[in-house]
Structures are given as C-alpha cells and as structure tokens.
Amino acid sequence: MLMSKLVVKTLREAPSDAEAISHQLLVRGGYIRRLASGIYSFLPLGLRVLRKVEAIVREEFDAVGAQELFLPALHPVEIWQETNRINTMDDVLMKVEVRGSDFVLGPTHEEAVIATVAPDLASYRDLPATVYQIQTKFRAEARPRFGLLRTREFIMADAYSFDADKEGMRTTYKTLFDAYCAIFDRIGVEYFPVEADAGSIGGDVNHEFMVPAAIGEDHFAYCKSCGYAANIEAAVRGERGYEVTEAVKEMTKVETPNSSTIKAVVDYLNSHGYVASAETSLKAMICLDNSGAYHLLLVPGDRKVRIPSGLRAAETTDFDANPNLHLGYIGPVGMGDVGITIWVDRSVGEEIGYCTGANEAGYHLLNVLLGRDYIADHIADLVEVVAGDPCPRCEGEIELVRSVEAGHTFQLGLTYSNKIKSARFSGEDGSEAPYYMGCYGIGISRIPALVAEVSHDGNGLIWPVELSPFEVVVVALGYGSNDLVTDAADRIYYNLIDEEFDVLLDDRNIAAGVKLKDADLIGISYQVVVGARGVADGNVEVKDRSSGEATVVAIDQVGEYLINLLA
RNA sequence: CGGGGAGUGGCGCAGCGGCAGCGCACCUGGUUUGGGACCAGGGGGUCGGGGGUUCAAAUCCCCCCUCCCCGACCA
C-alpha cells in the first residue's frame, strides 16, 4: 500500500473531547473517527488492526473446534420476552419498532443462538458443540466514554457451548478458557483471568479477563503471594481475628436526633459522653429479593456493602411500603419478628457490642450483641474488599488493581436452557434434557484501544507486530525528489511485497520531519528509513518502533533482515 | 437521571453589540527533504437550532439540541 493513496490524515492535535490516551492517539493517527457519542467509524488503518484481532480470535477458536456462524443483530422481541431479559436488561437494551413489530438490537446473543442452533443439536449425539460469531452489539450505555473503551455500538466475538451434562460443560469451559489465554498471549498485553460476578448474564463459575490500565473503570483484588485474583464485585476477604477486651454490657437505647448516617451518629455520640466509632457501628442496608421479601444487611460501619446476587437495594417506594423501616435508624433488633431476613457480614464479632439503629426515629442502640440481642439468618461476605484486607486463600494481603475488562467467560449451566423451551435435546434413553451451556465473550473493538492504552510513548502508538496495521513501513525521505532514495525505496518496497510482508510505503513528496513524525504516531512495528545520507553508501536504517533501536542494513538485505526479526 | 462545563471552516482556538478571524489541514506555484520546513497566492463557515431584544446579534435574553467531565446504593 502506498501512503499517498491510503485514506488517512493524521492530526497534530486531538479533538478536545478525547480524554483517554488511546482515544487521542487512535484519532490523531487516523484509525477511528467519531460519528456520534459512543459511536465510531473505523478508517482503513483502524480496520486493519481490527481484522488482525479478529484473525487471532478466529484461529484460536477454530483450533479448539468452535465453529463460526453469524447471528442477526436485530432480534424479535419475543425471544427476549421468553427469558424475561426484556425487563431485567431493560436499562441497556436498544429497542426499535418496525411497521408495528418490536425488535431488540442485540447486546448479547444467548437467546438468538439457542433459537438458531437448537434444531441442529437435537440429540445427545450432536453434543458437545461450540459455535461462535463476530458481531456488532448494541448497549444503551448510561455514559459512553474513553473512545473505543465504552461505546454504544461495539464489535464482540462470542462463543456459545452446548453440553449434555455438567461435567461436559466444565471440560468445554476449560478448553475455551485456555483458548482465551492463547488469544491474550498473542495480543501481547498483560492480563489476569479473575473470578467474577455473573451479573445479568447469569450462571455460576465465570472469569473476567482483565487488563491492568490506568484508565480502567474496574478494579480487581489481587494477592501477590498466592495469585488469588477476583473482581471487586466477587472478591472476599480472609478472616481476621479480633481482641476481646471486656465483656459486652447491657444493650441500651440512646437518643440520637438528626443522626441518620454512620458519621453523624458517631460524631453525635462522641460529643455527648459516649464512645463510638464507625468500626463498632453496624451499617444497615435494606434489600429486596425477587419475591419482594425484605432483607437487612449488616456490615461494620466503616465498610462498603457488597450486595449478594439475588438481592437489590430498596428504593424509596419500598421504604414507604414497610412501616417497620425508619430511614436512618434501621437496626437488627426486633427485625426478625417482623419477617425481615437478617444477613450479617462474616467479620462482625460475636463478642463485640455494636451501635445500631433502634428502628425508631431519633434513637440508636448501644452494645448490640449478635446472638444475644438478635439472630442472624445468614452469615456471609457482605463487604467490598479494600487494599490491605487479608487474602482469603493465604496469609497474604489483597491489593486492588485498576483494569479494563477485555473478555468474560461463563459456565451458564441451565440458566437459559431452563427458560427457553427449545433448549433441549434427546438423551440416550429417549428423555428430554436441557443443554448445559457456556458463553465466552471478547471485546474485539475494545482490544485496539486497550493495546493503545498500555503501548504508546510520547510520539505515538506502538503496535505489537501481531496487531500492527502493516508489519513494516518504508519511510522514504525525499521520495519523488531524490532519485537515489526513490529507487532504493521502490526496490525495498517491492522486495518486501515479494517476501509477503504487509508493507506500507510512505511515497509522499513532503518534508522528512512530517514522515518521521507520522511513522511514529501511526506506530507500525518496524520502520525502514530510507534517506539520502545512507543510500549513498547503499544502506538504510531499520527501526524497531517499540525499542527505538535503529540498525543500519544494506539495501539488498532488508528483506532477509526482517524475515529473521519476525521469525 | 442529577450536578458542572462547552458548542465559531475537517481539527485546535480567538473574537463577546458595528464587514467572521488565527494556527494546523486543504488547493495552486515555487524553494525545501533525517524530526510536524519556508515563501507567495487561494478555496471553504446558515458562528449548534429556534424564538426574542436592538437601527444593528457569533456577541444580550428565553427555549431546545448536541458534546465533554463528575456523580448516580450504604438508610
């Protein structure tokens, strides 16, 4: 490809709306252009990178026997009604109405893939099977941002596995998990498969593939000593002992006017002759389950609550509907008697008296003791981990790593098969059984941004050669005006094409500085710099964009040199 | 959805009642060619949209739209 013909125009300055470095560099380098908020076009350079990501994914999926198919982006609303995700995923669904019929623009394809392949997987003889597709997905993001990292329209590769039983599903999951590792190894970024929360997809065992990056919106808990890695939504902390200094006194009720937050209560009590702290207060949070029953979660007052799956935080109307709830003064004492399920965080001491709400506006209780003053229905991990918490697997300490989610693999089990009538096959004995499923998604269009985010310098992008839009660019300084340079550059260019390199020739008749700046900005892995001063001696320079190292190579040996380099 | 900020040529910005400008990019000619070079000439904008005030509005007022940032559960 000739640079003079390539549809690209680099920018000296990034648009003012670009905040993330990947966004700035991809726009400046002429890879992508914004069409609307969270909606991006891929220009020729950008599409080349995207195609390389796709190629890696295809190769690794194909290698484990997954078969590519292609599902529609536009789904009839009925399949989303069957799983009720038309309601549970309402906040992210884009819906369209066409001539009186309702459709959903697919944010994910569990329903669609089952509807598509179930007839082909009618017998146990047809299982196991794994299919995948590379598709554009749509999500009504609350706030698109960071260029390609959080968009409303994006490209994703998603695989779906179908097994006859749980054991088969686990085997398949392991295979796909390994394929994911192979994909990320080839992409060349540091990544961590972390234990994660299933979210709206549902299911049991699942892993997120996280790439550490400063711009990341997610955090995962990580233990250096044992390698424990879990998303903040799923991470738990280890047991920590505590010292019992004195026996817990009698529970007492005290007046705490206008103190509806932990901080206000602690401040009020401390300034009125009591001893109080956030750690020895219990934060109370009201949640509801799917049946509408109320649950009370209790955690130490200095910690953030992590709501267990299956529960949702109560809304104002839920409070209004239950006369036992006094906002700001909720506590566990007596709650069991009014039918509220009590959950207590594992770290709440059974020999420590806590300060809690008295379930009466303006009053709190002191020295509230678990087991004596109230009974826990569930003891569970209810707090979000923070850096410095003990590791749940070893003696180490948890740290939090800021990162971006690049992929997510799930053992779905029967989550969808139980909801969708057609998701069944005939077993050996003739009886019908639901599929054990898995799903595996990777954010194809997010990968270029992710790589750009972690691989760049002050001059521009630095592509690993597996993703580079071209493997090598011939930067001909003086092309079109200096015959020696022009001839040498042409010779090298055609030679590299013969050697089957993916090569770009910068044949533009413009100032040398512009070409060198553009080459660095665009970030192609290898640059062959052809200039008057080297060509006179029969030499050019081959520069590694990543290390910045330049090697003088004879014009006739550039092909051979690069073959060795890329081998 | 709540709070803040911003919309002037493809990009970055100035102008803030009196003829719509600058840098980059683009076009023509010339000089250049190892780090976004220079000279001369040129094209391109309903100043986000609508309404109002005024002799006169990019500029002041009102409404709407778009874009960016922060937040969106702990009672």
Q: What is the nearest nucleotide to A520, using C1' and CA?
A: B35
Beta strands in A179-315, from DSSP E residues, in sequence order:
192-195, 206-212, 218-223, 229-231, 252-255, 282-289, 294-300, 311-313
Alpha carbon distance A175, A354 (integer Å): 49
In angstroms, the Cα distances linking A451 to A222, A385, A468, A504 are 22, 28, 11, 21
Do A219 and A305 have their domain in common? no
Per the structure, the count of domains in chain A is 3
Nucleotide showing the shortest C1' distance to residue A328 CA: B75
Distance A37 CA to B67 C1' (A): 7
**Tokens coding A545:** 């964009």
Measuring from the CA of residue A17 to each C1', which nucleotide is nearest? B68
Q: How far is the CA of A256 from the C1' of B75 (A)?
A: 15
Whether A366 and A339 map to the same domain: the answer is yes
Nucleotides in chain B with any atom closer than 7 Å to protein CB:
1, 10-13, 23-26, 32-37, 66-75
Q: What is the DSSP letter of A513?
A: H
Residue A321 lies in a domain: yes
Q: What is the CATH number of the domain that holds A539?
A: 3.40.50.800
How long is the CA A16 to C1' B55 vector, in angstroms?
39
Same domain, A226 and A256: no
Distance of A36 CA from B45 C1′ (whole Å)? 21
A36 and A179 share one domain: yes
pLDDT value, residue A231: 86
> For position A201, what pLDDT does the model report?
56
Q: Give me the DSSP letters along A345-367.
A: ETTS-TT--EEEE-SSTTEEEEE
Write out the residue range of the structural domain in which residue A149 sits: 21-235+400-451
Among all protein residues, pick the one whose CA is nearest to the C1' atom of B72.
A142
- Could you tell me if A44 and A174 lie in one domain? yes
Residue by residue, pLDDT tens for chain A (567 residues) are 999 999 999 999 999 889 899 999 999 999 999 988 899 999 999 999 999 999 999 999 999 999 999 999 999 999 999 999 998 888 889 998 888 899 999 999 999 999 999 999 999 999 999 999 999 999 988 888 899 999 999 999 999 999 999 999 999 999 999 999 999 999 999 999 998 876 555 567 889 999 999 888 888 999 999 999 988 888 888 876 666 667 778 888 988 888 878 888 888 888 888 888 888 889 888 888 878 888 999 998 888 888 887 787 887 777 777 888 888 888 999 888 888 999 999 888 888 889 999 988 889 999 999 888 998 998 888 888 888 888 988 889 999 999 999 999 999 999 999 999 999 999 999 999 999 999 999 999 999 999 999 999 999 999 999 999 999 999 999 999 999 999 999 999 999 999 999 999 999 999 999 999 999 999 999 999 999 989 999 999 999 999 999 999 999 999 999 999 998
Nucleotide closest in space to A535 (CA vs C1'): B34
Through-space separation of residue A510 CA and nucleotide B38 C1' in angstroms:
13
Domain edge (last residue) among A352, A380, A408: A380
Classified as helix, coil or strand, A122 is coil
Nearest residue (CA) to C1' of B37 = A511
In whole angstroms, how large is the CA radius of gyration of chain A? 30
Indicate if A37 and A149 belong to the same structural domain: yes
Write down the pLDDT at residue A109: 96
- The Å distance, CA of A437 to C1' of B63, is 53
* Cα–Cα distance, A90 to A83 (Å, whole number): 12
User: Nearest nucleotide (C1') to the CA of residue A307?
Assistant: B73
Which pLDDT score is estimated for A317? 75
**Does residue A440 share a domain with residue A483?**
no
Is A247 part of a structural domain of the chain? Answer: no
Q: Is residue A503 part of a domain?
A: yes
Integer CA distances (angstroms), A496 to A43, A162, A379, A505, in order: 24, 45, 66, 10
* C1' of B38 to CA of A514 (Å): 14
Whether the predicted interface score ipTM is above 0.85:
yes
Scanning the structure block, which residue is given the tokens 């050697």? A499
A463: in domain: no
Nucleotide nearest to A286 (CA to C1'): B75
Name the protein residue, with chain letter, whose CA is nearest the C1' of B68.
A17
